[in-house]
Amino acid sequence: KPELDIEVINQILERDVSLSYLLLRFINNPTVNKRNEITSLKHAMTFMGQEEVRKFIALLALANMSGDKPTELLTMSLVRAKFCE
């Protein structure tokens, strides 16, 4: 979709503790956010912006698709995707 529905994404993330933890850990990383601590998922997604939220969701989807495949395959896929970007 051209526009992300932050409310729907927020509801999905709130149901999964591990996804919530990953997002908050990523957004509070000093290399990403040096100014203030973000504690809510909605604030994190607003801070990131739509494009970064899309990338984060794509990364999670790709990681879940890898399943029993070697981690090197996932790494190669991400490197190739970054070059194509």
pLDDT tens per residue, range 57-74: 887 777 777 677 788 887
Residue 26: C-alpha distances to residues 2, 30, 34, 65, 83 (Å):
24, 9, 12, 21, 22
- The pTM score is 0.67
* Average pLDDT, rounded, for the chain: 83
d(C-alpha 76, C-alpha 46), whole Å: 30
Tell which residue, 40, 50, 48, has the closest CA to residue 20: 40
- Chain position carrying tokens 């997002």: 23
Confidence (pLDDT) at 19 = 85
Confidence (pLDDT) at 66 = 67
**Under 8 Å CB-to-CB from 48, ≥6 apart: which residues?**
27, 56
